A and B are shown apart, each in its own frame.
Chain A
Amino acid sequence: MAVRMEEVLTRRTGDPSSTDHPGNRLELSTEDGVTKIFGFWMFLVSDVLLFATLFATYVVIYTHTADGPSAAELFRHDVSGFLAETLALLTSSFTCGLATWEMHQGRAGRLKLWMIITLLLGLTFLGLEITEFHDFVSQGATMQTSAFLSGFYTLVGTHGAHVTLGILWMSLILYQLVRFGLNAVTARKFYIVGLYWHFLDIVWVLIFTVVYLTGVM
């Protein structure tokens, strides 16, 4: 097993001022934490590949509108919608970063507060996205209309599904923070869900560019 407890190195040096030194971080204070975070980075590589494939497919078919609405027609009516989504998600990534920062300061209370705000922003994003999808569908632009729309709903929807999972996951970790407090294990768990959250943010920036901006132009 990863943790050789007898070798668990408590790397905290007791000098709280040098929090940016990786060896001092709570989530990296056990060998188990280090291995799991490394494993999670590897998982992210596979998720990058997953999205890359979806993007590639989308780029191949996004002009294949088969007499259905084109990207330009759809997204022009929705600029404020996808801008609001973007704003909500980018802000949530920022608040998630603040939560991490508070964690490294050892302030569990503020960590939880920023997590709640992150969750609320995530929910806002999801709500906006569902409204957008609903709008498009009620205009008759469904996944069955054209290859372009199949690609659109699948790519953006996969990201949305990731966000949903992220919200469930972060809530579970919030619960554990409340229940068990901030320790090497909960810190590692929050750190990992934070990585995931930032990753979704980056994917969204790409969606924003490749799907929406390219679409309106």
Chain B
Amino acid sequence: MGDSLTNTAGHFFVTGDPMIIASDVAIVLVSLGIVFTLTYFKKWKWLWREWLTTVDHKKIAIMYLISAILMLFRGGVDALLMRTQLALPNMKLLSAEHYDQIFTTHGTIMILFMAMPFIFAMFNAVVPLQIGARDVAFPYLNAISFWLFFFGALLFNISFVIGGSPDAGWTSYPPLTELQFDPGVGENYYLLALSISGIGTIATGINFLATIIKMRAPGMTLMKMPLFTWAVLGTCIIILFVFPVLSVALALLLIDRLFGAHFFTMMYGGNPMQFVNLFWIWGHPEVYIAVLPAFGIYSEVVSTFSQKKIFGYKSMVASIMAISIIGNLTWVHHFFTMGAGPAVNTFFSITTMAVAIPTGVKVFNWLMTMYRGRITLSLPMMWVLAFIPNFALAGATGVWLAEAPTDYQYHNSYFTVAHFHQALIGGVVYGMLAGMYYWWPKMFGFKLKEKFGKWAFWFFNIGFYVCFIPQYVLGLMGMQRRMYTYTPDMHWTALNFVSTIGAYLMGIGFLCIAAQIIHSLVHMEKDLTGDPWGGRTLEWSLPSPPPHYNFAVIPQVSDRDEWWERKRRGEQDALKPRPEDIRNVHMPKNSGVPFLMGVCFFIAGFGFTFGWIAVGAAGLLGVLVCLAHRSLDQHPDHDIPADEIRRTEAALGRL
């Protein structure tokens, strides 16, 4: 009895590997620490009332941001472990199996649980404020989206200590991922965690589409919309079109694994290539989902810090839309080598290269905006400047990869790894950091001090090139992607070693950002202006952080850079509310149900991961109960009385 118990427990809780046991201990200690702190400072109620039940987009933004940074840390630790393992030949730091798990969790976490929440943090922090709205179109759904993301990410992360992580790459190609070749629960974790957070993502896409289309302040026509909001619109369209495809691909693979179906098996007529197609129909556009919001951020930052209107606004809008359409027609470039034939490969080769045109237009416009602008080199702007050469290189190497014949040479080599990191870090992460620095005062009401930020910038940037430039060369020298180790006679040692040094420099860069945040918290410098950068768009017309109803009176818009134009004309006070214009404001009530719904999804996901159908079904039933509860709720909203708003605005010095 005792024996069999330890046996099952040994399967359930991952044991054996000292690194994992260390993380077990760390997880328990950190959890205890959190519980203790919350109890000691009597913060449980505060946590529940202010955060877990909130439907305010500004608070949801902060929760997304914190999650994204935590996940960047987790994914970064994975990256450092991999780079350490590869630093020298015949290294034994990790076992081969563990290496497989780590590149899988690294890729998955970075793309789905770091980049996605990071862009959603920006969506939530900015879009309603930029378009002069009081909240998103569906605040309650917005909270559900967040909790689905959160519990999806949690489910994925616990795989490390309970049951074992997925190990077939973030692309999880069958038949390798079929039950027969990949028993164990790791792959189930992957499929269910991504499915759960994917539902949340589709909901976010719908929510922000409706917000942007239906909730703009009067006068803000589409062609007066700030470029970040445009980028979000483009992103949401892509989300709406491709995330359902991912959901289906994951569901079908799960059905294969759990119920013995044959969609992608090698026998009984299954077709693994179909998964590869479905995966990349989502997977390629996914990179535009991540990078378009970053492009939006670059546009805002460049124009603010050059004190100039963005150059070529209309062509910027056109290229966002062009990217969101052409981006959907390129997925086959991920498997040129799988034998689709010259006609198909040529088509996808050309469409892939076509995306370079709108992207080039954007880069040109950013440069032209800076040309003869009055440039301030503050942190957001520095990250934009660092992004441009990065993306030029990523674009160039992308075109090499897009040519089907040459791709036969680099396919799945370190060249590819270097290319996509250049695009994902140089494009997406730099953009998100620029956005974080730019909107931080708006989100939190204080400015980040620049000192450690500058250190972070230089460490990260230099580390970046030191890490990835050698990888291009390694790829051309024949080093394959996802290799666990190599022998000295390959002559890859020196370049790999240099690359690892670069990775550590980036790690130091990350720590500097953490130091910067802590340092700024301690020496807090409150931003009382609401407009520390000399901003151009409506969000800067509000105090920081804005009151929970955002605008006491919805502004009337007449210009593209409304706030800037008003300031120029000396009319900024016109955007302050007049007491007689203030009416009652209708706002949604807080609710704990979205959180509980997330918990139910988590239970369902956990149950199905282990094949416990009853637990899974119970979780889904809980979800239905939550939905019915919402439908029956007759008073999901309440009125904030005009008097209360007048008082709040007066306290903010706006009346």
Please list the residues of chain A having a beta carbon within 8 angstroms of any beta carbon in chain B. 1-6, 34-36, 38-39, 42-43, 45-47, 49-50, 53-54, 57, 60-61, 64-66, 68, 143-148, 150-151, 153-154, 168-169, 172-173, 176, 180, 189
Contact = CB atoms under 8 A, between A and B. Distances in A.
A32 B274 CA distance: 41
Contacts of B632: 172, 176
Contacts of A144: 259-262, 268
A111 to B, nearest CB: 18
A150 B218 CA distance: 52
B586 A1 contact: yes
Contact of A154 (B245, B252, B631, B634): B252
Contacts of B262: 66, 144, 146-147, 150
Contact of B209 (A4, A42, A148): A42
Contacts of A65: 269
A162 B628 CA distance: 16
B584 A5 contact: yes
Contact of B249 (A35, A53, A150): A53
Given A60-B271, A144-B259, 8 more contacts: A1-B139, A1-B588, A2-B135, A39-B137, A49-B240, A49-B241, A49-B245, A64-B268
30 contacts: A2-B214, A2-B215, A4-B585, A4-B586, A6-B586, A35-B138, A36-B138, A39-B206, A39-B207, A42-B210, A42-B240, A45-B240, A46-B205, A46-B244, A47-B244, A50-B244, A57-B263, A57-B274, A61-B270, A66-B269, A68-B268, A143-B261, A144-B261, A146-B269, A148-B269, A150-B262, A150-B263, A153-B261, A169-B631, A189-B631
Contacts of A35: 137-138, 210, 214-215
A42 B261 contact: no
A143 B258 CA distance: 12
Contact of B137 (A2, A43, A168): A2
B284 interface: no
Contacts of B207: 39
Contacts of A4: 134, 554, 585-586
Given A53-B249, A66-B262, A147-B263, A61 B206 contact: no
A170 to B, nearest CB: 11
Contacts of A6: 583-586
Interface in B286-336: none
Nearest to B138: A39
Given A2-B215, A35-B137, A61 B248 contact: no
Interface in B602-655: 624, 628, 631-632, 634, 637, 639
A5 B584 CA distance: 8
Given A1-B586, A57-B252, A172-B631, A154 B137 contact: no
A68 to B, nearest CB: 8
Contact of A146 (B245, B256, B268): B268
Contact of B587 (A1, A54, A154): A1
B514 interface: no
Contacts of B209: 42
Contacts of B259: 143-144
B244 A3 contact: no
Interface in B342-385: none
B240 A38 contact: no
Interface residues of B, number: 53
Contact of B639 (A2, A5, A143, A169): A5
Nearest to B210: A39
Contacts of A143: 255, 259-261
Interface in B209-243: 209-210, 213-215, 240-243
B255 A50 contact: no
Contact of B214 (A5, A38, A50): A38
A173 B260 CA distance: 37
Nearest to B549: A1
A156 to B, nearest CB: 13
B278 interface: yes
A42 B214 contact: no
A153 B251 CA distance: 13
From A47, A151, A168, residue with most partner B Cβ within 10 Å: A151
Contacts of A147: 262-263, 265, 268-271
B267 interface: yes
A168 B244 CA distance: 23
Given A2-B137, A57-B248, A144-B260, A46 B202 contact: yes
Given A35-B210, A39-B206, A43-B206, A1 B240 contact: no
Contact of A53 (B255, B267, B278): B278
Residue among A34, A68, A147 facing the most chain B CB atoms (10 A cut-off):
A147
A42 B260 contact: no
Contacts of A38: 210, 213-214
B87 to A, nearest CB: 42
Contacts of A5: 584, 586, 639
A150 B202 contact: no
A47 B210 CA distance: 16
Contacts of A2: 135, 137-138, 214-215
Contacts of B624: 168
Across chains A and B, which 8 residue pairs bring their CB atoms closest together, nearest first?
Answer: A64-B269, A147-B269, A150-B261, A49-B244, A5-B586, A53-B248, A66-B269, A6-B583
Among B135, B139, B274, B587, max chain A CB count under 10 A is at: B274
A148 B202 CA distance: 29
Nearest to B242: A49
Interface string B500-531: 00000000000000000000000000000000
